[in-house]
């Protein structure tokens, strides 16, 4: 395990690269899901009393 | 029976299709990235010169490919929005830009980390690195322009023009390593005479690339849904304000 984590002496290159990629891509997924659910919730609130249906 | 692209251009129909595709794309992305990560970090061999730093390739290269692909998709959508005024094309182009920006950031950051042990520098102003940095700023410019106008339509059109004009940067990125003397190496996989990389590294690389592509599709569908809701909210709000 220690050998794996050491990455042949290149731990300082490999792990920050994978970490940065994971942080950016997971952050993107979280932000995208939040944006979509916030938008849908807002739309439902607006359409609530009017009987207007969205999508078209 | 309407033609396929035409029927897709209806947001309601697109939404139904998107809901069906999203679970599959997400599962595919998770599966491919899971397998790809284990393969890349645990089983692919170290490089005979670079040692284990070569493992950065398995995220750097797919991210760089997706950075270009996202832009090509965005530019094509933007062109079709400018010509045919398809709202869905505008929504999808807006949805694509932040994803492309993230892929470009991943390519730049991982490339920079890889550059230090390989070249001795985190950054050099060679044609490949500089043109990819320009790609990143094109994405940011697109996002800024798309939201810069009170009138959403105008913002969409301005951003679309930027996306189409900026597409000139794509061949510059791709061929920069052939046209100029770059520190960045030339292509090893997408070459006319076939990949110059051993299967033990090529297959995990392609698995990761497929995972990134599925990830793109999944996030794109979620973001299009968000953009479409935001647009509808704006239309309704404006209609109410006009009626009140």
Pick from B128, B18, B9, B28: nearest CA to B77: B9
Pick from A4, A10, A28, A16: nearest CA to B226: A28
Contact B131, B108 (CB under 8 A): no
Average pLDDT value for residue range B1-12: 58
- Residues 6+ positions from B11 with CB-CB distance below 8 Å: A55, A56, B87, B88, B91, B228
pTM: 0.92
Q: Nearest by CB to A25, from B55, B102, B227: name it.
A: B102
- Read off the pLDDT of residues B54-88 as tens digits, 9 standing for 90 and up: 999 999 999 999 999 999 999 999 999 999 998 99
Contact check, Cβ <8 Å, A13/B233? no
Q: Nearest by CB to B59, from A18, A35, A52: name it.
A: A18
- What does the block give as tokens for B120? 């001795």
- CA distances to A9, B15, B223 from B244, in Å: 68, 31, 31
Contact check, Cβ <8 Å, B56/A4? no
Q: Does B16 touch chain A (CB under 8 A)?
A: no
Contact check, Cβ <8 Å, A13/B11? no
Q: Does B121 touch chain A (CB under 8 A)?
A: no
Virtual torsion, Cα A34, A39, A44, A50, nearest 10 deg: 170
Based on the number of CB atoms within 10 Å of its own CB, is B77 exposed (0-12), middle (13-18) or buried (19 or more)? Answer: buried
Is residue A52 within a helix (H) or strand (E), and if so which, with residue range?
none
- Read off the pLDDT of residues B109-151 as tens digits, 9 standing for 90 and up: 999 999 999 999 999 999 999 999 999 999 999 999 999 988 8
Q: What is the ipTM of this complex?
A: 0.91
């Amino acid at each position: 395990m220690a050998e794996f984590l050491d990455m042949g002496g290149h731990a300082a290159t490999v792990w920050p690269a994978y970490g940065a990629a994971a942080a950016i891509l997971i952050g993107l997924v979280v932000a995208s899901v939040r944006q979509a659910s916030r938008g849908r919730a807002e739309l439902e609130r607006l359409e609530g009393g009017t009987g207007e249906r969205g999508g078209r | 029976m309407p033609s396929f692209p035409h029927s897709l251009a209806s947001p309601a129909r697109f939404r139904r299709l998107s809901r069906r595709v999203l679970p599959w794309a997400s599962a595919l992305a998770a599966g491919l990235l899971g397998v790809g990560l284990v393969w890349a970090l645990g089983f692919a061999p170290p490089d005979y010169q670079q040692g284990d730093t070569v493992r950065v390739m398995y995220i750097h290269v797919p991210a760089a490919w997706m950075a270009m692909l996202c832009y090509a998709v965005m530019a094509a959508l933007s062109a079709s929005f400018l010509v045919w005024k398809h709202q869905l094309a505008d929504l999808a182009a807006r949805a694509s830009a932040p994803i492309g920006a993230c892929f470009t950031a991943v390519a730049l950051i991982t490339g920079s980390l890889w550059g230090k042990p390989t070249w001795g520098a985190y950054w050099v102003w060679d044609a490949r690195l500089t043109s990819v940095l320009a790609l990143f700023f094109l994405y940011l410019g697109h996002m800024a322009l798309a939201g810069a106008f009170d009138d959403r339509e105008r913002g969409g059109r301005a951003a679309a023009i930027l996306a189409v004009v900026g597409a000139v940067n794509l061949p510059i990125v791709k061929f920069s390593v052939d046209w100029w003397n770059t520190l960045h190496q030339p292509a090893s996989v997408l070459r006319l005479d076939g990949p110059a990389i051993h299967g033990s590294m090529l297959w995990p690389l392609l698995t990761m690339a497929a995972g990134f592509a599925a990830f793109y599709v999944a996030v794109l569908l979620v973001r299009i849904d968000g953009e479409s809701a935001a647009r509808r909210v704006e239309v309704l709000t404006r209609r109410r304000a006009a009626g009140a």
